[in-house]
Structures are given as structure tokens and as C-alpha cells.
Structure 1
Amino acid sequence: MTKKSAKAPATKPAAKKPAEKAAPAAKAAPNAEVNKVAKTQMVDMVAEKTGLTKKQSEEAVSAAMEAIVNAIRAGQSVGLPGLGTLSVKATAARTGVKPGTSERIQIPAGKKVAFKVASTLKGNL
């Protein structure tokens, strides 16, 4: 058994190497998420600001997001005072180039969601 225990420390540093490689990726992820506000964070902010419970705040945030998505799907513009306007824009058919092969491909017409920032927000950035 002493031989096995002597070999065990030799395998532990090898096990740490993959963890060390994963550590830089883990360090990069928190920095990327610092600039992003998740839905749960939005719920917490609404609960704190309004005095509602977290469950009530989650329902309110979900209802607001669902209303916005449904309006955009219906082709309507959604104006959010102090934030901006979400709208649906039609895109024209066009010719593109396939990466790697340089082959010309036809991209069909479609729709995209556009966002125009409110001038009050733009001025405050």
C-alpha cells in the first residue's frame, strides 16, 4: 500500500493541469458577465425598487418581456421611454460569400429586429 500512496501524489499534479487550463476560461467568463444583467438580477432590482416580493417581481418582468416579444412577432414597434424603440425591419435578398470556399450564395430576404436608442439615453452615455 505504501507504493500506491507514493504513486498517488504523482498523479495529483497531472490532474491539476487540466484544472489549470480551465481556470483562465473561468476567469474570462465572470468578466464577460459583469457587463450583462441576467433576468434574475432584473427581478432582484424590480423587487428592491418596488417593494414587491421576488415572485411577484418575476411575474411582472416575465409578463413585460412576453408582451414585448409578442408585439415584435406581430410586426409592431415597441417604444420604451428613456431606453429606445424595438422594431421589425425587412431585409432584402442579397448575394453573399461562403467563408472558406469563396463560393457565392444567395441569401433570401427576411426580417430582423432593430433597436434605436432614445436620445436621452444616448446623451447620458
Structure 2
Amino acid sequence: MEIFDIDKAIAKAESELAKLEAKRNKVLEKLNQLNLLKDSCKPSASEIFPASAVLEITKHSPEADKIALFLSLFRGRTDVYPRRFESSRTGKSGYQPACRNESHLSKIGFLNNGE
């Protein structure tokens, strides 16, 4: 192999390396943008635990304030809520999920085992 051929191969390798570095920089920029987007979607600690609400709520606080705090901490389905029950057989009580649209569910046989 002659010096001219080696110089040509070196130039080609340097050109390929420059292209790879440019592509790497583009991918890094895209990754940074995606991470920024991901971070912007996360709720901040102050949104999850509002300091003013957490510090002011005590066992003596009004019920409405306690409910507002609970709802701010536990976001979820608004059509499902707990329903208290008491067993006539055992006397034990507890909570079960209830749906605001139970009449529709019973019509399609979802409740009462399809009865």
C-alpha cells in the first residue's frame, strides 16, 4: 500500500468519524428535548403536596378542607367511589367500590351476577 492510498483511507475514516459525531450530536439533542418534555409532564412536589394545604389541615379542620386535601392527593376516577356496608350475617362493616352509573351496569348484567 502506498502513502497516497493510506492518506486517502485516513481522510475517508476522518470523514466518516465527522459524520458519526454530527449524528451523535443530533441524537443527544433529541434525547435532551425528550427528557425536558418528560420532566415537564411530571407534577411538581408542590402540586402533589401543596404546602399551604398540608400545613393548615388538622383534625379540627372543617370537613370540606379535609376532603379537598384528600382529593388533591388522590386523583383518580370520579365515577367510582366507596360505599359503606355492614354484613347482616357477621355484623362486620367495610367499604366496597360503587359506581355512579350502577343502573346502567345492572341492566347489562354486570351487577348481581347477571340476575
TM-score by length of 1: 0.26
Which structure has the greater CA radius of gyration? 2
Q: Identify, as 1 or 2, the structure richer in strand.
A: 1
Q: TM-score, normalised by structure 2?
A: 0.27
**Higher normalized contact order (CA 8 Å, seq sep 6+, divided by chain length):** 1
